[in-house]
Amino acid sequence: MKKILPVTNAVIAIISGSIVLLGYFFPGLFGGIQSVLIGWAIILAAFALLLGIFNLMMVHWKKIGSEGKGSIYSIVLLISLVLTMIIVSISGPAGSWSLWIFNTIQVPAEISLLAVLAFVLVYAAARLLTRRFKWYTILFLVTVLLVLLGSAPLFFVGEVGLLSSLRGWLAQVPAVAGARGLLLGVALGTVATGLRILIGIDRPYGG
């Protein structure tokens, strides 16, 4: 059984992947079964989300049991999770109570984290030369400053047209060109990864 199961998994993965891929090029022949498989994948993804939440609960339940340093946060998390589930179940996903939780807790928390992120990025940029004192690091910093200068009018100075144009050029020509090059490499890597899985050599599914 231990040998049969991985082989079975690999066969299912190869057949499913091939059908979905061929469905894009031969929709008349494989379109129907491709839609069925995609529907299954969507349902499985939704259940995976539930399993992930269950996993989150179990991890923090264990943390409470261990009485470690962060056990109090785990208690808060579990209580919040259970309360939210109860309230949303009663009030409904679009109910006023559900939206109150969302607007007064989740949105401010995420905005605060994003504000911290902005602060972290400024701090990291200011210290970048201590981390990597190279000519291309200086080029990186100069580009960052030029884009920032062109993003908004400077306080007490106002908008500088030249800087805005320069920012537009930097964002659209070198930055996008570099990004496209990177994306092409990423796409090739993604294709190679997908093909390895499609032919069953790389098996991230316990095969």
Partner 1 sequence: MEQALSSIGNFLGLLFILLCLGLILFYFFSDPTREKINLRSIEAFTHFRRQIDLAVEAGKRVHISLGRGNINDLQGGAALISLTILDHCARAASNSDRPPVTTSGDGVVTILSQDTLQTTYRDLAADQRYDPSNARLTGLTPLAYAAGAMPAIHDEYVTANILAGHFGTEVALLTEAGERSQSLTVAGTDSIPAQAVLYATVDEPLLGEELYAAGAYLGGGAVYTASIRMQDILRWVLIAAIGIGAILKLLGILS
Partner 2 sequence: MTDIICPLCGKPNPPDLEECKFCQAPLKTTGFLAPSEGEDELDKLISSSSKKGEPNDQAAVPGTPSNLEQSIPDWLKETEASFLDQSGTMPSEGEPEEPSHDQISDQVDPLLNPPPTPPGGSDKAIDDDWLANLLAEAGVDESAQTGAPKEPAEEPAEEPAVEPSEEQPQADYQVEAEAPAEEPPEEEQATPTLPAEKPAWLASLEAASTIKLEGGMPPAELVPEEPAGQEAGEKVEEEPPAPPDWLKIPTSEETGSGAKESEPQLSPAELPGWLEALRPTDAGSPSGPVEDVSNADIVTAGPLVGLRGVISPHPSAIRARKPPTYSIKLRVTDEQKARVEMMEELLADEEKPTPLPTQPIITSRNIFRIIVAVSLLLPIFWMIISGRQNTTPPQAGNIPGVVDFTQQIQKLPTGAVVLVAFDYEAGFSGELNVAVTNVITQLMNKSAYLALVATNPTGPALGESTIKNVFSNLVGNTTTYSSYANLGYVPGGTMGLSGLAKSPKNVVPYSLNGDNVWAGAPLNAITSIKDFNAVIVLTNDSDTARIWVEQVGPLLREANTPLLFVSSSQAEPLILPYYEASPSQVQGLIAGLAGGVAYARSVGNIQQNGVWDAYSIGITVSILIILIGSIASGVVKSLPAGKKKDN
Residues lying near partner 1 in the complex (CB under 8 A) are found at 21, 24-25, 41-42, 44-45, 47-53, 55-56, 58-59, 62, 68-70, 73, 109-110, 113-114, 116-117, 120-121, 124-125, 128, 131-132, 140, 179, 181-186, 188-199, 201-202, 204-206
The set of long-range contacts for 146-149, using a CB threshold of 8 Å and a minimum separation of 24, is: 146/170, 147/171
Residue 205 in contact with residue 6, Cβ under 8 Å?
no
Q: How far is the CB of 29 from partner 2 (least distance, A)?
A: 17
Which of the choices partner 1, partner 2, none does residue 188 contact, using the CB cut-off of 5 to 8 A by kind?
partner 1
Residue 43 has φ and ψ, to the nearest 5°, of -65, -45
Q: Is 204 in the site for partner 2 (CB under 8 A)?
A: no
Of the candidates 195, 193, 173, 197, the one whose C-alpha atom is nearest the C-alpha of residue 185 is 193
Tokens at residue 90, please?
């009663």
Q: Is 45 in the site for partner 2 (CB under 8 A)?
A: yes
Residue 57 has φ and ψ, to the nearest 5°, of -65, -45
Of the candidates 78, 79, 77, 74, the one whose C-alpha atom is nearest the C-alpha of residue 64 is 74
Q: What mask of x and - would describe binding to partner 2 in positions 161 to 190, judged by CB under 8 A?
A: ---x---x--xx--xx--x-----------
| Binding window for partner 2 (CB under 8 A); candidates: 9-17, 70-78, 108-116, 192-200 | 108-116
Q: Which residue shows structure tokens 């910093």?
A: 141
How far is Cα of residue 88 from the mean position of the Cα atoms in its chain? Answer: 25
Site of interaction with partner 2 (CB under 8 A): 35, 38-39, 41-42, 45-46, 49, 69, 92-94, 98-99, 102-103, 106-107, 110-111, 113-114, 118-119, 122-123, 125-130, 133, 138, 141, 144-145, 148-149, 151-159, 164, 168, 171-172, 175-176, 179
